Structure 1
Amino acid sequence: MLRRWPLLVAFLIGCAGAPAVADLPERLEREVLRVCADGNNLPFSNEAGEGFENRIAELMAEDLGVPLDYVWSPQVMGFVRNTLELRVCDVMIGAVAGYGFVQNTNEVYRSVYALVVPEDSELEASRLTDPALQGRRIGVVTETPPLVPLRRTGAIIQSYPLMVDTRVRAPVRDAIEDVVAGRTEAAVLWGPLAGYYAARATPPLRVIPLVDDDSGARLDYRISMGIRQGEPHWKDWINDFIDRRQDEIHAILAEYGVPLLDRRGQPLSGPDGGGS
């Protein structure tokens, strides 16, 4: 199947405006938590329940006191239309804040693109304009925000496709493997992907969140949950859940190596912040 990275999907198709939603009454009683998810999209979710969005969904179901059920659909264009809008499921665990096709809840977490380097690398750049990146061979997924600033800095770009058949290609894994093998000196990847795959490399790689970037590219994003428009009671419940269980949510994300930012855009530190 062809897939674009989840963060980018929101901005590639979200600008078209939200579709009309049938004016049906909001469901006030929930016998099951029905989650819209991609069944082959680690570290976010998969059908085996191994992603961090699976873990957060389990926490929600436990809090609601109801069973958890999934509606699986590839997270490509049409995902919301084929899931939330058909009312076959009731929540997306991860949606970029401001995504026009859904009603966003409060922020679940905030993350940022990161530089991934070998553990013994002297590269310490936390901004794409750092002169230390000039002339370095750096992997980056095409059409993602870091690409243009890296070119301007003078990095030698090793590009990986944004749109792939995930049955045969895994661009982020390819980027990580190239760093391990020394074919590139670093990679710049979306934080949750960077942290997850870097920790599973052999040997593990170091992740440097680009929190000091001054290139003008948008590198950090707030991630909310996505629900249908016109469901204020459901939104209120989820917002309350996020507030009450935020520490547990952050602890789950930290287990997956997600670089987490606070409200000022600086790394969270401590056992549930993903900081070092």
Structure 2
Amino acid sequence: MDNEFLATIKLDNSNEFHGENIYQPQGFSSKKYPFMFLGGASTLCLNGSLNDIDMKGKIVLYDHGINERIKKGEIVKQADGAGIVLINAPKDGYSIIADHHALPALHIPYAFRPKIKAYINSSTSSQRPPSSSKAPLPMCPTLRIATLIKKVHPDWSPTTIKSTIMMTTYVKDNTNKPISNERNLPTDLIAVGANHVMPLNVLDPELIYDISPMDYYPYYAAFVYNVSDVRFIIHQKINCSSIKSIPEGELNYLSTIARLSANKARAVTFTRTVANIGEVAETYYAKLGVPEWFLHM
């Protein structure tokens, strides 16, 4: 599920750059403000870096790093600054986060840095302060969907709800392209996880993978080495030596992973039990569907 809190800056040369921010200004002004990049020791906006610098009514470009993003905005506000544009380091690429800043702010990808820096260096620049699109305060998208499912199906267990969310995902982003990483490149299987949530389908998954608390005991017996740790997890006494342990891949969980050699073929078998929660009895057949773009990673 893609969830964005868009914010935009518009420069004098009519270029617009989009990022994210939750700050919702009241009585927002459309006037222009000086736009600056301090450089040197002030490039990261650390405590004390704005001492003896006239920041009143100015918007400043800062690099991401060292101190917290929200802290940078607080430092600029304390110096009477008008706004802040926070730009990623190369390693962070396109990973931007919507924060609740203390003043108009914008978190943007590293890819925008060359154009913005060139604009600032080319002239005495000014811009309109970053403006935010209206949006409610954020809630974790998965938690929001889980709450919706529980409202409709109050008798479903947490594992049933989790299975429902994972069973109804899709493997591409909202532009119908492969899911990308923070550098806008196709990501790998581990980073993709269960893919993108499809909220419209979570209420009718048809099949689920359910796990009861007792189903975890054989798993704990195999992978938690200290009996006291197991007892702490399940909140009751248990004798692990009396429980037949199971391999990691045999927990009735929706996803698993197998380590395979590139030079040696071997068969890997996992057993799963699914439940049909539809209104009528149906027959299902297992089919392996691997996206073509996964095969070339």
Q: TM-score, normalised by structure 2?
A: 0.24
Q: TM-score, normalised by structure 1?
A: 0.25
Greater strand fraction, Structure 1 or Structure 2: 1
Higher-Rg structure is 2
Structure with the bigger RCO (C-alpha within 8 Å, sep 6+) is 1
